[in-house]
Amino acid sequence: MDGLRFDKLRILVVDDNQHMRKLVVAVLQAVGVRDLFEAADGEHAWRALRDTNPDIIVLDWQMDGMTGLEFARLVRNSPRSPNVYVPIIMLTGHTHVEHVRQARDAGVNEFLAKPVTVKAILSRLVNVVEHPRPFIRTKTYFGPCRRRRALTAYAGPERRKEPTFVD
Protein backbone atom coordinates (compact mmCIF):
# COMPACT_ATOMS: atom_id res chain seq x y z
CA MET A 1 0.00 0.00 0.00
CA ASP A 2 1.31 3.45 -0.75
CA GLY A 3 0.35 6.34 1.39
CA LEU A 4 0.81 9.97 2.17
CA ARG A 5 4.41 11.11 1.66
CA PHE A 6 5.19 12.55 5.08
CA ASP A 7 8.79 13.04 3.97
CA LYS A 8 7.64 15.74 1.55
CA LEU A 9 5.97 17.87 4.20
CA ARG A 10 7.48 20.83 6.02
CA ILE A 11 5.82 21.26 9.40
CA LEU A 12 6.09 24.00 12.01
CA VAL A 13 5.18 22.96 15.57
CA VAL A 14 4.25 25.86 17.86
CA ASP A 15 3.78 25.13 21.56
CA ASP A 16 5.08 26.90 24.64
CA ASN A 17 5.20 23.62 26.55
CA GLN A 18 8.49 21.97 25.67
CA HIS A 19 7.26 18.48 26.55
CA MET A 20 4.26 18.55 24.28
CA ARG A 21 6.43 20.05 21.54
CA LYS A 22 8.97 17.28 22.00
CA LEU A 23 6.26 14.64 21.85
CA VAL A 24 4.66 15.96 18.67
CA VAL A 25 8.03 16.46 17.00
CA ALA A 26 9.15 12.92 17.93
CA VAL A 27 5.99 11.43 16.43
CA LEU A 28 6.30 13.50 13.25
CA GLN A 29 9.95 12.54 12.86
CA ALA A 30 9.09 8.88 13.36
CA VAL A 31 6.46 8.94 10.62
CA GLY A 32 8.97 10.41 8.20
CA VAL A 33 8.67 14.20 8.34
CA ARG A 34 12.15 15.55 7.72
CA ASP A 35 11.66 19.28 7.61
CA LEU A 36 10.45 20.09 11.09
CA PHE A 37 10.63 23.46 12.76
CA GLU A 38 9.77 24.44 16.29
CA ALA A 39 8.68 27.63 18.00
CA ALA A 40 7.87 28.22 21.65
CA ASP A 41 5.67 31.28 21.18
CA GLY A 42 3.76 33.29 18.64
CA GLU A 43 6.55 35.76 18.02
CA HIS A 44 9.08 33.07 17.14
CA ALA A 45 6.45 31.22 15.14
CA TRP A 46 5.82 34.33 13.07
CA ARG A 47 9.51 34.56 12.29
CA ALA A 48 9.68 30.84 11.56
CA LEU A 49 6.72 31.11 9.22
CA ARG A 50 8.61 33.69 7.21
CA ASP A 51 11.97 31.91 7.33
CA THR A 52 10.94 28.28 6.84
CA ASN A 53 7.80 28.43 4.70
CA PRO A 54 6.06 25.42 6.28
CA ASP A 55 3.33 23.44 4.50
CA ILE A 56 1.41 22.92 7.74
CA ILE A 57 1.39 24.50 11.20
CA VAL A 58 0.58 22.50 14.34
CA LEU A 59 -0.38 25.19 16.82
CA ASP A 60 -1.10 25.15 20.54
CA TRP A 61 -4.00 27.30 21.66
CA GLN A 62 -2.99 28.37 25.16
CA MET A 63 0.37 30.11 25.03
CA ASP A 64 2.03 32.84 27.01
CA GLY A 65 1.91 36.14 25.13
CA MET A 66 0.23 35.72 21.76
CA THR A 67 -2.32 32.90 21.97
CA GLY A 68 -2.75 30.30 19.25
CA LEU A 69 -6.02 31.94 18.22
CA GLU A 70 -4.36 35.33 17.85
CA PHE A 71 -1.54 33.75 15.86
CA ALA A 72 -4.00 32.00 13.53
CA ARG A 73 -5.83 35.30 12.93
CA LEU A 74 -2.52 37.01 12.20
CA VAL A 75 -1.52 34.33 9.69
CA ARG A 76 -4.85 34.60 7.88
CA ASN A 77 -5.36 38.33 7.96
CA SER A 78 -2.09 40.23 8.24
CA PRO A 79 -0.94 41.94 5.07
CA ARG A 80 2.56 40.85 6.14
CA SER A 81 1.62 37.17 6.39
CA PRO A 82 4.01 35.07 4.28
CA ASN A 83 1.32 32.46 3.59
CA VAL A 84 -2.30 33.18 4.38
CA TYR A 85 -3.34 29.74 3.09
CA VAL A 86 -1.09 27.55 5.24
CA PRO A 87 -3.19 24.83 6.90
CA ILE A 88 -3.35 25.19 10.69
CA ILE A 89 -4.00 22.28 13.02
CA MET A 90 -4.98 23.59 16.46
CA LEU A 91 -3.71 21.46 19.32
CA THR A 92 -5.62 22.14 22.50
CA GLY A 93 -6.88 21.02 25.87
CA HIS A 94 -10.10 22.94 25.16
CA THR A 95 -12.83 20.58 24.09
CA HIS A 96 -16.05 22.53 24.38
CA VAL A 97 -17.98 23.08 21.18
CA GLU A 98 -17.70 26.84 21.73
CA HIS A 99 -13.92 26.53 21.57
CA VAL A 100 -14.16 24.60 18.30
CA ARG A 101 -16.27 27.44 16.93
CA GLN A 102 -13.75 30.05 18.07
CA ALA A 103 -10.88 28.13 16.46
CA ARG A 104 -12.84 27.73 13.25
CA ASP A 105 -13.67 31.44 13.18
CA ALA A 106 -9.97 32.27 13.59
CA GLY A 107 -9.23 30.34 10.38
CA VAL A 108 -8.06 27.04 11.83
CA ASN A 109 -8.39 24.02 9.53
CA GLU A 110 -8.38 21.16 12.00
CA PHE A 111 -8.92 20.80 15.74
CA LEU A 112 -6.78 18.27 17.63
CA ALA A 113 -7.95 17.80 21.21
CA LYS A 114 -5.57 16.60 23.89
CA PRO A 115 -4.77 13.96 24.98
CA VAL A 116 -3.02 13.42 21.69
CA THR A 117 -2.64 10.06 20.01
CA VAL A 118 -0.51 9.18 17.01
CA LYS A 119 -3.61 8.17 15.09
CA ALA A 120 -5.26 11.53 15.75
CA ILE A 121 -2.19 13.48 14.65
CA LEU A 122 -1.89 11.51 11.43
CA SER A 123 -5.58 11.71 10.66
CA ARG A 124 -5.48 15.54 10.92
CA LEU A 125 -2.46 15.65 8.62
CA VAL A 126 -4.20 13.42 6.08
CA ASN A 127 -7.28 15.63 6.26
CA VAL A 128 -5.47 18.85 5.46
CA VAL A 129 -3.61 17.21 2.57
CA GLU A 130 -6.40 15.10 1.14
CA HIS A 131 -9.34 17.42 1.69
CA PRO A 132 -8.11 20.95 1.14
CA ARG A 133 -11.01 23.20 1.93
CA PRO A 134 -11.93 26.08 -0.30
CA PHE A 135 -11.15 29.48 1.11
CA ILE A 136 -13.81 32.03 1.84
CA ARG A 137 -13.39 35.76 1.83
CA THR A 138 -16.14 37.90 3.27
CA LYS A 139 -16.08 41.29 4.95
CA THR A 140 -15.63 39.65 8.33
CA TYR A 141 -13.80 36.40 7.62
CA PHE A 142 -10.93 35.07 5.60
CA GLY A 143 -9.93 31.44 5.90
CA PRO A 144 -10.87 27.88 5.10
CA CYS A 145 -14.53 27.15 4.57
CA ARG A 146 -16.10 26.64 7.96
CA ARG A 147 -18.81 24.31 6.71
CA ARG A 148 -17.33 20.86 7.16
CA ARG A 149 -20.82 19.44 7.03
CA ALA A 150 -24.05 20.92 5.89
CA LEU A 151 -25.14 21.97 9.36
CA THR A 152 -27.57 24.59 8.28
CA ALA A 153 -31.05 23.80 7.16
CA TYR A 154 -30.74 26.43 4.48
CA ALA A 155 -28.60 25.45 1.51
CA GLY A 156 -29.78 28.00 -0.98
CA PRO A 157 -27.64 30.08 -3.32
CA GLU A 158 -27.27 33.09 -1.04
CA ARG A 159 -26.32 31.27 2.16
CA ARG A 160 -22.88 32.90 2.33
CA LYS A 161 -24.09 36.44 1.81
CA GLU A 162 -23.34 38.62 4.77
CA PRO A 163 -26.28 40.20 6.46
CA THR A 164 -26.26 43.95 6.76
CA PHE A 165 -28.61 45.67 9.11
CA VAL A 166 -30.35 48.69 7.65
CA ASP A 167 -32.55 51.25 9.31
State the residues that interact with another protein by CB under 8 A: 1-6, 8-9, 16-17, 19-20, 22-23, 26-27, 29-32, 55-56, 62-64, 83, 85, 87, 92-93, 114-116, 118-119, 121-123, 126, 128-130, 132, 134-139, 145, 158, 160-166
Tell me whether residue 47 or residue 123 sits nearer to another protein (CB atom).
123
Backbone phi and psi for residue 101, each to the nearest 5 degrees, phi listed first: -65, -45
Instruction: Give least dist CB 46 to another protein, A.
Output: 19
Distance set, CA 47 to CA 12, 14, 42, 148, 159 (Å): 11, 12, 9, 31, 37
Tell me whether residue 63 or residue 74 sits nearer to another protein (CB atom).
63
Tell me whether residue 132 or residue 148 sits nearer to another protein (CB atom).
132
Instruction: Give least dist CB 26 to another protein, A.
Output: 5
DSSP assignment of 39-65: ESSHHHHHHHHHHH--SEEEEESS-SS
Instruction: Give least dist CB 42 to another protein, A.
Output: 13
Contact, 63 vs 94, CB < 8 A? no
The backbone region for 8, taken as left when phi is positive above 0, alpha when psi lies in -120 to 50, beta otherwise, is alpha
